Amino acid sequence: MSTVELTKENFDEIVSGNDFVLIDFWAEWCGPCKQFGPVFERSSETHGDLVFAKVNTEKEPELAAAFDIRSIPTLMIVRQNIAVFAQPGALPEAALEDVIGQARALDMDEVRASVAEAQAQQDQQDQQGQQGQQGQAGSGEQA
């Protein structure tokens, strides 16, 4: 399977509509991106059951900003709408294959449980922070 170009218009449809998506954030002027591009393409031919997508960060700055992409190329793997891997740098072919293998081996029930637990902890911290701010606001001196 060849790669798909991701844009802000088709991003949700492609990522939500597929269980396993590899995303290459890149730009035309980027030397390491040019090195990684053929590796990514070859891998897409090997793994026909996965979606390989590319985001041109020059044409799609909103997508790059939404994922806080600060260095290119950056490879992201999204499984069942959860980003399970994100790393900048041009991976050699063997490393890319290893990452794909590890992402395939993930128990997504465990990943979802871990994400839910982290979200619950964050919600609790946010709530405690808000309570602390309310307590400070109410503890002003009275004359």
Active site residues: 30, 33
Residue pair 40/52 in contact (Cβ under 8 Å)? The answer is: yes
Provide DSSP, 38-106: HHHHHHHHH-TTSEEEEEETTT-HHHHHHTT--SSSEEEEEETTEEEEEEES---HHHHHHHHHHHHH-
SS3 at position 28: coil
